[in-house]
Amino acid sequence: MQKKVEDMAQSRPEGLTNLGTRHFSHFLAFRLNALCAKLFSEGYSHSPKRLETQGMELEDPQAPSALTESGGTKTQFSSNTNMLFLRSFLAAIPLVGFSTAALTYKGADWSSVPVEEAAGISYKNTAGTTQPFETILKASGANTVRQRIWVNPSDGNYNLDYNIKLAKRAKAAGLNIYLDLHYADSWADPGKQPTPSAWASQGIDDLANTIYDYTLDIANTFASNGIDVALMSIGNEITAGLLWPLGKIANSDGAYNTARLLHSAAWGIKDSNWGTKPLIMIHLDNGWNWDTQKWWYDLILSQGPLVASDYDVQGVSYYPFYNSAATLSSLKSSITNMKATYGKQVQVVETDWPTYCPNPEYAFPSDISSIPFSPEGQTTFMKNLASTISAAGGNGIFYWEPAWIDNANLGSSCGYNLMVDDTGTAMSSLAVFGSI
C-alpha cells in the first residue's frame, strides 16, 4: 500500500490544486466595491465598461464606455491618475484562497493508536523522527482528540480503562478530549446499534436507569483521574436510534424510547463530579442532508423526554465517498439550517479523504470531484471542508482515525484514507490542522 501511495504522489501534477475561487471572488467583489466608492467620491457616477490591468480584464457589458462627471461632462476612464490607481490596486490583490475564522475544535479520532503500537508500529513525524502520536498531532495544529468507548469489548480494547490511559496521554500533550460513547460492546453505527450483552434482557425502565448509571460512572471515573473532557457524545451516529431493539426508531415506541434514553444519558453527565462539565453532543450521520437532520430532531424532541437543554452540540458525519449528493454546498446549507432552527453548536465529527481510490463504489460529489487522491488532496479537502463549516456557523472538525494502519480503507471502498503511511510516518496532510 505504501508503494501505491508514493506512486500516486509522484505522478501528481505540479502547481496549485485549489485557488479558493469562491473566497477570492467574494474578496474581489468587496475590494472593487471599495474602489467604486473611491471613484464616486471623486465625482464619478458609473463604472467602466472594460478595465484592463496587468493581463486581467473585468467587463460590465451593460455599462457605458465613459464615466459621467457629476457636473454633466463626460470623461473617458483613461485618466492616468485613476487608471494607475486601479492598476496598482488590483495588482495588490493576492491570487490565493482566503480562509474563514479558525474553528474552535479541530483534531482527529485516535482511538486505535494503542492497538497499532501494540502491533509494533512506531509513529514518526514528517521528518522521520519517532514520536508519540499525540505529540505529532499537537505539533500539527490539532487541539482535540476523539476517543470511542465500548462497554465490554471481548479483547478489552476501547473499554473504559483503555480510554483512561489514552486520555492521560492526550492531557499530558496539551490536547482536549472528546469522548464518543457507543453504548455497545462493539461498533454502533447507522446500520447497527446493538444493546450491550449485559443489558440485553432489560426493559425500557431498567435500560434508562442503566444508561444513566453507566454514563455517570464513565464521567466520574474520568473526574477521579483528574481528566477533564471538552465534548461527550451520547451515542454514535444514532440516526436510527440506539440500544436496539427498544431504542430503534422504526420499531413501536422506538422514537419515544430513544428520547428517554438520551435524556437519561445526558443527566448522567450533568450529575457527574466534574467541576466543569463537558459539552453534550448528539451525533447523526449524513450531515449534508438537512431533511434527515430536521426529521430526526423534530421527531425525537416532540416525544417529550429529551428537551433542548439536555444537549449542547449537534455532531454530524460527513463522508464524501458514500453519496454523490454529499456536496459541500449541501453540507453548508444543512449546517446553516441546523444553526438557525435549533440554535446549537454544530460540528463535523467524522470525515476522511483518500490518497488512493481506484474503484470508488459511488461517484464523488460534484464540487469536490476535482480534488486529487493524494496527501495534497487531503489538505485541499480539509481546508475546503473547514471553510464550509465555519462559513455556515459550525465550530469543529475531526478526521476519523488517520493513523489506523491495520484498517487503511476505514470502511470505505477507497483503498487508503490515512494521514500516515504504512510505516507510521506522518504525511504532509497531517499539518492541515495548523491552518484551519
Query: Which active-site residues does the annotation give?
Result: 237, 350
Q: What are the residues facing 57 on neighbouring strands?
A: 52
Helix (H) or strand (E) holding 315: strand 313-317
Q: Nearest-CA neighbor of 108 among 140, 130, 131?
A: 140
Q: Phi, psi at residue 50, to the nearest 5°?
A: -145, 130
Written as nine digits, the cell of 262 is: 438520551
If phi over 0 gives left and psi between -120 and 50 gives alpha, with beta otherwise, what is residue 241?
left
For residue 432, CA distances in Å to 107, 274, 378, 379, 382 come to 10, 32, 9, 6, 7
CA dihedral 43, 44, 45, 50 (to 10 degrees): -170
Query: 347 by DSSP, 3-state: which?
Result: strand
Query: 314 by DSSP, 3-state: which?
Result: strand
Instruction: Give 36's contacts (C-beta < 8 A, 6+ positions apart).
Output: 47
